[in-house]
Amino acid sequence: MSSIAHTVSLGDRTYEVRIGNGISHEAVMRAAAERSKGRVVVTVTSPGVQKALPALVKALAEHGPVIITQVDGETAKSSTELARIWEGLAAAAMGRDGTVIALGGGVVGDLAGFAAASYLRGVSFIQIPTTLLAMVDSSVGGKTGINLPQGKNLVGAFHQPQVVLADTQVLQSLPVREFSAGVAEVIKYGLLGDGTLFAKLESAGCLTWNHPELAAIILRCVEMKASIVAKDERETAEINGRALLNLGHTFGHAIEAVAGYGTYLHGEAIAVGLSMAATLSQDLGFLSEAQVRRVQSVLKLNALPVNLTKPLKAEDLMAAMRRDKKVRSGTLRFIVMQDLGVAVTHDSVPALSVRKALLAGGAV
């Protein structure tokens, strides 16, 4: 088994993101080593992952309890599920030297990571992302959290993992729709900071779990995120910084909240958000119509939506965006593209331009 890796440089919290076929066995070895030292290891996963990867779940269960969320999807990122995990860690008598293993997609990573960040004021955790979206984005950078009825990720903490083990082999268990949703985040990286990556995605055809360039593409996304996080870990930069990673997300999070969590997969909502962000960038005079079409074409190439599948009210979406975490001093912050591969923060976007982008994307 060969693997490639990138180091996320954060001083004494530096860690590796390792990418390879079959690399998840390292988590089992780490769990066994921790248990041999008398430390408690608890794995958090979901019903879908347990069904898709029974051998891995069983192997981890030999070294500590496994907590399975009651549901799959965004609805698992709730205070109820968080409390269940806290209680499970307490029942396992986990001390401050214990480790939580997050085995799953972005939902499990966010939920288990926040449980680890908050239990005993912080215990170690390991990320084993099982979706493409989690491998290229949510498992890296230390953002953890849960949703509230008022919006996505409104409660959480920054808590970096010990290591991220991205096993490309597990991606073959993903439904095609789930894999495609992850490609939306890959496309986002090309649009926000690497025009060469975007051009590669245009020429690579539809990405699949066994695409010969997939591991290298994942690594490039991780490199970009690690570089951004190292400079602005807590998203406090006044301009650009970590906020750039939210390209398409102000629109996408609003779509998720208004449509109801679970109606769209996260990556599907982000795909529509990227299309809307491209339209907004055109309206602001940055992108040409041809460039907007290129953005939409590469999304469609990977079976991703570029418009709302059912109309949502523009007013409801605007209201949801005003509740977004990225609001500063009452002003909405958007990430816009000055070019394909060059994104910037923009704090003075006219409401009319935002509404035009929403209507172009299928809002009413």
Q: What is the mean pLDDT of residues 2-28?
A: 91
Q: Say whether pLDDT at 239 is over 90.
A: no
Q: What share of the chain is helix, strand, coil (3-state, %, to 5)?
A: 50, 20, 30
Average pLDDT over residues 176-195: 95
Residue 230 is classified by DSSP as H
Q: 104: domain CATH number?
A: 3.40.50.1970
Q: What is the mean pLDDT of residues 110-137?
A: 96
Give the confidence band of 2 by pLDDT, cuts at 50, 70, 90.
confident
- Helix intervals (H) in the chain: 25-36, 47-52, 54-61, 79-91, 106-118, 132-133, 176-193, 195-203, 214-231, 249-259, 266-283, 289-301, 314-322, 351-360
Do residues 121 and 46 both lie within one domain?
yes
The whole domain housing 33 covers: 3-173
Q: Kind of pairing, strands 143-148 and 151-158?
A: antiparallel
Whether 237 and 120 share a structural domain: no
Residues 112 and 239 in one domain: no
Measured CA to CA, the distance from residue 252 to residue 261 in angstroms comes to: 11
Domain-embedded: residue 209: no
Rounded CA separation 209/215 (Å): 9
Of 89-93, 231-235, 307-311, the range with the lowest mean pLDDT is: 231-235
Does one domain contain both 164 and 241? no
pLDDT at site 69: 97
Q: What is the DSSP string of 56-73?
A: HHHHHHTTS-EEE-SSSS
Classify residue 211: in a domain, yes or no. no
**One domain, residues 87 and 168:** yes
SS3 312: coil
pLDDT on residue 150: 80
Dihedral sign, Cα of residue 356, residue 180, residue 138, residue 15: negative
Q: Are 166 and 23 in contact (CB under 8 A)?
A: yes
> Do 65 and 149 reside in the same domain of the chain?
yes
Say what the pLDDT of residue 1 is. 57
Residue 214 has pLDDT above 80, yes or no: yes
180 falls within a domain: no
Residue that is last in its domain, among 173, 195, 216: 173
Q: Identify which of 85, 133, 144 has the alpha carbon closest to the alpha carbon of residue 105.
A: 133
**Boundary of a domain, candidates 158, 173, 188:** 173
| Domain-located, residue 130 | yes
Q: Kindly tell me if the per-residue pLDDT of 329 is higher than 60.
A: no
Of 135, 157, 173, which marks where a domain is finished? 173
pTM, entire model: 0.90
Find the helix packing angle between 214-231 and 195-203, rounded to 10°. 160
Task: Give the residue-averaged pLDDT of 140-161.
Answer: 92
Helix then strand count (H, E) for the chain reads 14, 11
CB atoms within 10 A of CB 55: 7
Q: What is the CATH number of the domain that holds 252?
A: 1.20.1090.10
Q: Please report the pLDDT score of residue 325 as a whole number.
A: 59
Does 348 lie in the same domain as 266? yes
Give the residue-averaged pLDDT of 233-253.
Answer: 88
Mean pLDDT of 293-308: 98
Count of domains for the chain: 2
Q: Is residue 208 included in any domain, yes or no?
A: no
The reported pLDDT for the residue numbered 208 is 94
pLDDT of the residue at 3: 83
pLDDT mean over 96-105: 97
Cα–Cα distance, 139 to 141 (Å, whole number): 7
Residue 248: per-residue pLDDT: 96
What is the C-alpha to C-alpha distance for residues 270 and 255, in angstroms, rounded to an integer?
Answer: 9
Residue 187 falls within a domain, yes or no?
no
Mean predicted confidence (pLDDT) in 194-208: 95
For residue 328, the model assigns a pLDDT of: 60
Residue 348 has pLDDT above 90, yes or no: no
Dist. CA 32–CA 154, nearest whole Å: 35
Strand-pair partners of 144: 157
Query: For residue 302, what is the DSSP state?
Result: T
Residue 35 pLDDT level (bands cut at 50, 70, 90): very high
Quick check: is 182 in a domain?
no
Report if residue 179 sits inside a domain.
no
Confidence of residue 237 (pLDDT cuts 50, 70, 90): confident
